[in-house]
A and B are shown apart, each in its own frame.
Chain A
Amino acid sequence: MCARLDTCHRYETPEGIELELILAGPLVRGLAWGIDFSIRAVAYILFLFLLSLLGGVGLGLLLIGMFLVEWFYPVFFEMRSGMTPGKRIFGLRVIHVDTTPLSWSASLVRNLLRAADFLPFLYTAGFFSMLMNQRFQRLGDLAAGTIVVYTAPEEEQDVRLPRATARPLPWPLRLDEQRLILQFAGRWDQLSEQRRSELAALLAEFTGKSAPPEEVLLAHANWLARGR
């Protein structure tokens, strides 16, 4: 069996650091686009009322404005922060495939190619392109070498542990194992009591028999989180 399936994008920097980002799929991106579109639509309607006071000139201005906004709305926001308002709501961000921030040329290319993605109706081409691509890239993304990822980081530092007297590890553990113990303690409240002891029993050899294993793990987690 090949590696376990996930929606991650891995990139190894020249320094040998492996970065891992979580790719955003068609559904959430479609919804973000829908929000952006409604923002634009509301703005157009408002301006239609305002500019209709000016008669023909107003209509001309509106058309010019619509042209500019339709083509450059995403470019403007992507160059400011990498996310349009719709993407911001869902914590999405556009970056290069090599995980660097978006450049002008890439942003222009990926947004000008929306015309291709839109064909034949409401981004059908883009949808199929996303489905067939490992990184959920639409045609514009493929041309510009960009991906859309979630910005929200895994909140590992922010885990709130139930209090317990700290207890040092009996011997050093690897980093991922220490993290695992922290995660276990961090999800203490979500797990049922039964499940907690079931899980901790897997490490019975490590925790010893002096106390219920889950209590020991919690104590270790407190020691790991707060220090000695």
Chain B
Amino acid sequence: MNLDAITVRLRPRTDWEAMDLGFALGRRYFRKLWLLWLFTGLPLLLLALLLSRAGAAWGVLLLWWCTPLCEPPLLFWLSRSLFGDQPTLSGMLRRWPRTVLPGLAANLTWRRLHPERSFLMPILLLEGLSGQRRKERVRVLARGQGGAFWLTVLCFFLQVILTVAILIVASRLVPEEFRYGIGAESLLWSEDTRLLAAVFLSASLLGPLYVASGFMLYISRRVELEAWDVELGFRRMASRLGEARSRNVSRLGGVVLLLALAWPVLSPARAAQPPVPDPGRAREIVAEVVAAPEFGHSETVYVWKRIRQQKQEEEIGWLRRMLRIFGRALGSLHTLASDLLRQWIRPMAILCRVFLWGAAGALVAWLVYRLGPGRGWLGVRTGRQAAGPERAPEVLFGMRMTPESLPDDLLAACRDLLDRGRPRQALALLYRGTLSRLIHDRGLAIAASATEVECLHLVRQRRGPDEAACFGRLTSIWLRTAYGHVRPSRQGLEELFTIWSRTFSEQS
């Protein structure tokens, strides 16, 4: 085992990191690993296809159960390539029986369901131990190591997910015409075959990753237990120190040849020491380095600068003094002003705030008034509020509805008309008056386009049963008279008047 040639970086890893590294490894060599897997996997698939005639489940079970057959060559190849030596495919094929056959019976029976199968496989295949020693070894390596269990569980779920995904994609790719037809294609790709193919594909995709991850779990456990990374580092360190010593020795050379020969004998430990300059010389070197321009330097730069004209300044000295006095006056004025401001600003601010809040409140109130429910916003109209005077129709079925157009005592006017032998006019006046009263006094929102029956519906919905009954009677008589040209009987009208006077006149 030559650690210097190792192709993965050695460092202590958690189990999860080791599995991630296994995925990275599987990705790097995926093509080769996949081919290796297929070499055993394809014959297995044929067998499974044969077996699936007895039932698809048997084929799938065979494929799943016999995956340990496919995995050892992958593991062997990985273990070689880990140290930089990549066996050729043909070499691997020749080696196939030697990698797969040992322990096959156990692999396919009780060890098949072992949750840490991926982790045990390297120990069994690569370390070549047997019996009690192997058991001991497994115990030591597997202690405090739970990653392999999760690897197996997660890979199982992954395989199920991948199989379903492949089936979904495959069913989407089948053209619509063939999906339900019974052609040659659907015979070749029956439901069972498709399932088997999906399982095979997902197993072949995950196989390399599973093996590589298990192998990396094993390697990281060994790195932890045997400190491979420290070994590698120590080797490198030893070689560096050795080089430094040999350089040291050759540099001393000629004149102190004798001393150089004696050096390793005199102080073997010091011999490997890299050259250390004495403090005085070191200080010189430091000064030299610091003197370099990178560590800062001085530079002379010429710039134009305004020269103060002193003479002129003396001449205008009085002006200056005046300005200073003026300035002082301004200053005191300023303090005065600021005092005033300080006194005034607070009330002003409060005033402003009140004003602003008031404005905001007014705005909200206006919005509520403008858009509120009573204004028919969004078509919502409710109750008495809804019928504003400007909304009420002036004319319904060609009848004027304004209260001004009606006599003050409606019922008296009707009776008068009836007495004069004009029952139709009396009825019309009563109907018109009733509607007008409903609109203006009761606040009923009747659309200008409403028909008589719609009016009646509205009254039934919105007004009490008494009014509804009375209005219903009135409407039916009026409809018969107006459209059926049936002359209303005097007695019927009299009755109507009394009911009407009971329901409408008294309340209003």
Residue from B209, B224, B234 in contact with A199 in the complex, judged by beta carbons closer than 8 Å: B234
Whether the pair B237, A180 counts as a contact (CB closer than 8 A) is yes
Residue from B23, B241, B273 in contact with A25 in the complex, judged by beta carbons closer than 8 Å: B23
Whether the pair A195, B150 counts as a contact (CB closer than 8 A) is no
Residue of B nearest to A90 (CB): B16
Whether the pair B24, A26 counts as a contact (CB closer than 8 A) is no
Q: Choose among B8, B20, B172, B242 the residue with the greatest number of A CB atoms under 10 Å from its CB.
A: B20
B80 within 8 A of A: no
Q: Give the complex CA separation of A109 and B164 in angstroms.
A: 27
- In whole Å, how far is B358's beta carbon from the nearest beta carbon of chain A? 39
CB under 8 Å from chain B, chain A span 30-63: 30-31
- In whole Å, how far is A193's beta carbon from the nearest beta carbon of chain B? 13
**B 316-351 binary contact with A (CB < 8 Å = 1; else 0):** 000000000000000000000000000000000000
Q: Number of B interface residues, CB 8 Å?
A: 57
Residue from B21, B165, B237 in contact with A120 in the complex, judged by beta carbons closer than 8 Å: B165
Q: Which of A67-75, A77-85, A139-147, A183-191 contacts B (4 or more CB under 8 A)?
A: A183-191
Whether the pair B230, A184 counts as a contact (CB closer than 8 A) is yes
Size class of the A contact interface (CB-based, 8 Å): 35 or more
Whether the pair A120, B172 counts as a contact (CB closer than 8 A) is yes
**B 206-240 binary contact with A (CB < 8 Å = 1; else 0):** 00010001000000000011110111011101101
**B 1-33 binary contact with A (CB < 8 Å = 1; else 0):** 000011111111010110111011101100000
Residue from B21, B27, B271 in contact with A6 in the complex, judged by beta carbons closer than 8 Å: B21
For A203, list chain B residues within 8 Å (CB). 234, 237-238
Q: Give the complex CA separation of A176 and B237 in angstroms.
A: 9
Whether the pair B17, A22 counts as a contact (CB closer than 8 A) is yes
Q: Give the complex CA separation of A171 and B274 in angstroms.
A: 8
- In whole Å, how far is A120's beta carbon from the nearest beta carbon of chain B? 4
Residue of B nearest to A120 (CB): B168
**A 144-165 binary contact with B (CB < 8 Å = 1; else 0):** 0000001010100000000000
Whether the pair B19, A25 counts as a contact (CB closer than 8 A) is yes
**B 274-290 binary contact with A (CB < 8 Å = 1; else 0):** 10100000000000000
Residue of B nearest to A173 (CB): B237
For B272, list chain A residues within 8 Å (CB). 205-206
Residue from A5, A172, A177 in contact with B7 in the complex, judged by beta carbons closer than 8 Å: A5
For A4, list chain B residues within 8 Å (CB). 6-10
Whether the pair B7, A1 counts as a contact (CB closer than 8 A) is yes
For B84, list chain A residues within 8 Å (CB). 1
B128 within 8 A of A: no
A170 within 8 A of B: yes
Q: Which of B154-162, B180-188, B383-391 contacts A (4 or more CB under 8 A)?
A: B154-162
For B172, list chain A residues within 8 Å (CB). 120
- Known A6-B21, A199-B234: A31·B226 in contact at CB below 8 Å: no
- In whole Å, how far is A205's beta carbon from the nearest beta carbon of chain B? 5
Whether the pair B237, A191 counts as a contact (CB closer than 8 A) is no
Residue from A170, A184, A190 in contact with B269 in the complex, judged by beta carbons closer than 8 Å: A170
Q: Choose among A6, A30, A123 the residue with the greatest number of B CB atoms under 10 Å from its CB.
A: A6
Whether the pair B28, A5 counts as a contact (CB closer than 8 A) is yes
Whether the pair A5, B21 counts as a contact (CB closer than 8 A) is yes
B94 within 8 A of A: no
Whether the pair B225, A191 counts as a contact (CB closer than 8 A) is yes
For A26, list chain B residues within 8 Å (CB). 23
Q: Give the complex CA separation of A187 and B231 in angstroms.
A: 12
Whether the pair A187, B227 counts as a contact (CB closer than 8 A) is yes
Q: Give the complex CA separation of A206 and B271 in angstroms.
A: 9
- In whole Å, how far is B181's beta carbon from the nearest beta carbon of chain A? 23
Q: Give the complex CA separation of A131 and B24 in angstroms.
A: 8
A202 within 8 A of B: yes
Whether the pair A24, B238 counts as a contact (CB closer than 8 A) is no
- Known A5-B24, A28-B20, A180-B230: A202·B8 in contact at CB below 8 Å: no
For B227, list chain A residues within 8 Å (CB). 183-184, 187, 190-191, 195, 199
Residue ranges of B at the interface with A (Cβ–Cβ < 8 Å): 5-12, 14, 16-17, 19-21, 23-25, 27-28, 84, 150-151, 154, 158, 161-162, 164-165, 168-169, 172, 209, 213, 224-227, 229-231, 233-235, 237-238, 240-242, 245, 268-274, 276
Residue ranges of A at the interface with B (Cβ–Cβ < 8 Å): 1, 4-8, 22-28, 30-31, 90, 120-124, 127, 131-132, 136, 150, 152, 154, 170-173, 176-177, 180, 183-184, 187, 190-191, 195, 199-200, 202-203, 205-206, 208-209
